[in-house]
Chain A
Amino acid sequence: MMDVYEFTIIYTGMAVLTGLTVYLVFYVVFQKLAASKTPEQRDDVSGLIVMGGFVVDEPLRLSAIRILKDILRRALGRRVLRLESFSREISSWYLLALIFLAALVAASFLLGW
């Protein structure tokens, strides 16, 4: 029986080979042989951005992370709010500790400790 590292390497190699075959056969070859022969249907209107029936200059951009947080907040109610403030607290303390540690390392180098 092989070890898990060997397994991971073989799995990665075979996955890359299979993925590359899919990409080359179903994308590159089909685009070169079949799709390139179809005429491109573009006119002045197809370049316009239309939202809600109106032509706009820039499309509306939403933040996936903001929507994700909103879904989790509505799913978990108050718990996630408590968790959020708690994790914010932790992360600011972590940042302070990281700065303190970096300062200690810098000081140790400067003072030759």
Chain B
Amino acid sequence: MAGILDLIIQALVYPGLVFTIILIIFTQWLARKLSARIQFRRGPIHAGPAGILQPLADLLKLVAKRDMVNKYSLMHSPVIVVSLGIGVLIVAQLALPVAYSPIYARYDAIAVLYFLLIAPFAIAYLAVAHPNPYTTIGAARFLAVLAVSEPVFAASLLVPLIISSRTGGDFSIYLTSLRAAGAWTSGFSESIAMILATISGFLGMLGALMVKPFDTAEAESEIYWGVFTELGGPRLAFGFFLKFAERIVMPMIFAVLFLGGVWPADPSNWMASALVVYLKTIVVFTILVVADSILPRYKPEQAVAFLLKYAYPLAVAAILLSLV
């Protein structure tokens, strides 16, 4: 078990807070450049080489502004709740093979899934704590899509956990990530279950991360900015920090469970394992960015109906097949 000092260094430095900020700067630069290329624009070019420091410049610009809210808003609790949501997301990486001294236990996947639920609810709280008709509509849309996308994402994650539990995975995310490649090849029904779970898990992840076609909660052209409409300065920075951290951690969990975990790296070499996981995470993130740039947006009821109609049957079939 990791010592307390190790835990604190991991939580605050690597792979925790400091490294996550670096990763957010890189991934957001990548997202802006990619979506700019798709839309025949240049994207960020001024701050740092090739504009790579633009996300950092934006963060510093927002947090250095005076915190102002309308008179109907809550003052301190939204910022504290969002900070806690950011903490929960960052610490999830300690239970993944990117940590040099990971924390893990039997059935820890259940605990991690519950912890990760704090993040989207923090976004919803941030929205409703700053009353505005558009934030209320955005929060309601966000919760509607979340109510159907989170369960399907969680149900899909169970499939690699169930399959790997037969070879010592113990329903632990870290232990499963070391055996995740074997889940694809352990038998015919298991392979089919993994294919179905990968599709349903990806759809659930799109919904939970507000990626098109499920970004009805933001819907810029309809409800201004939805959940973020009333936010500015440090509050907007915190909302974005949470959203961008979520767009790293959830693809990372998806990568370690569905895309072979640390394979082809040697599990005993944490540095190689971490590198493989980061590369896979960036691949998943890139796919999300491309989807976000090229897909049209569903109406809220269409998004909910789509997930119920297609993702749920796939997830249920995958779980049943994994149990055979």
Listed in ascending order, the chain A residues whose CB lies under 8 Å from chain B are 1-4, 6-8, 10-11, 14-23, 26-27, 30-31, 34-36, 38, 40, 49, 51, 59-68, 71-72, 74-76
Which of the four size classes fits the interface of chain B? 35 or more
Q: Among B84, B110, B170, which residue has the most Cβ atoms of chain A within 10 A?
A: B84
> Could you jot down 26 A-B contacts, CB within 8 Å?
A4-B105, A4-B106, A4-B107, A4-B108, A6-B105, A7-B95, A15-B88, A15-B90, A17-B11, A17-B12, A18-B86, A19-B80, A19-B85, A19-B86, A19-B87, A23-B79, A26-B237, A34-B63, A38-B66, A62-B136, A62-B137, A63-B136, A71-B304, A75-B144, A76-B304, A76-B305
B60 vs chain A, min Cβ distance (A): 8
Contact partner of A34 (CB less than 8 A), chosen from B17, B64, B237, is B64
Q: Is residue B103 within 8 Å, beta carbon to beta carbon, of the partner chain? A: yes
B 10-33 binary contact with A (CB < 8 Å = 1; else 0) = 111000110000000000000000
A64 touches B86 (CB 8 A): no
The complex places the Cα of A74 from the Cα of B216 at a distance, in Å, of 15
Q: Is residue B5 within 8 Å, beta carbon to beta carbon, of the partner chain? A: no
B87 touches A2 (CB 8 A): no
Assuming A3-B105, A23-B83, A67-B140, is B91 touching A18 (CB within 8 A)? Answer: yes
B136 touches A67 (CB 8 A): yes
A28 vs chain B, min Cβ distance (A): 10
A10 touches B7 (CB 8 A): yes
Tell me the nearest residue of chain B to A68, going by C-beta: B140
Contact partner of B301 (CB less than 8 A), chosen from A17, A19, A74, is A74
A7 touches B79 (CB 8 A): no
Additional A-B contact list (9), CB under 8 Å, known A19-B84, A71-B301: A6-B105, A11-B95, A11-B103, A14-B87, A19-B80, A22-B241, A62-B137, A72-B304, A75-B305
The complex places the Cα of A14 from the Cα of B111 at a distance, in Å, of 14
Q: Is residue B314 within 8 Å, beta carbon to beta carbon, of the partner chain? A: no
- The segment out of B45-53, B126-134, B180-188, B271-279 that lies at the interface is B126-134
Pairs A-B, 4 closest by C-beta atoms: A19-B87, A67-B140, A18-B87, A75-B304
The complex places the Cα of A38 from the Cα of B300 at a distance, in Å, of 40
B133 touches A62 (CB 8 A): yes
The complex places the Cα of A74 from the Cα of B144 at a distance, in Å, of 11
Q: Among A64, A74, A76, which residue has the most Cβ atoms of chain B within 10 A?
A: A64
The complex places the Cα of A51 from the Cα of B70 at a distance, in Å, of 14
- B72 cross-chain contacts in A, Cβ below 8 A: 59
Contact partner of A27 (CB less than 8 A), chosen from B79, B91, B170, B304, is B79
B80 touches A23 (CB 8 A): yes
- A20 cross-chain contacts in B, Cβ below 8 A: 83, 87
B66 touches A26 (CB 8 A): no
Assuming A4-B106, A10-B7, A71-B141, is B63 touching A30 (CB within 8 A)? Answer: yes
Q: Is residue B263 within 8 Å, beta carbon to beta carbon, of the partner chain? A: no
B64 touches A30 (CB 8 A): yes
B104 touches A27 (CB 8 A): no
Q: Is residue B257 within 8 Å, beta carbon to beta carbon, of the partner chain? A: no
The complex places the Cα of A72 from the Cα of B115 at a distance, in Å, of 26
B105 touches A2 (CB 8 A): yes
The complex places the Cα of A14 from the Cα of B112 at a distance, in Å, of 13
For chain B, residues 124 to 152, give those with C-beta under 8 angstroms from any C-beta of chain A: 128, 131-133, 136-137, 139-141, 143-144, 147
- B141 cross-chain contacts in A, Cβ below 8 A: 67, 71
A75 touches B86 (CB 8 A): no
B226 vs chain A, min Cβ distance (A): 12
Tell me the nearest residue of chain A to B105, going by C-beta: A7
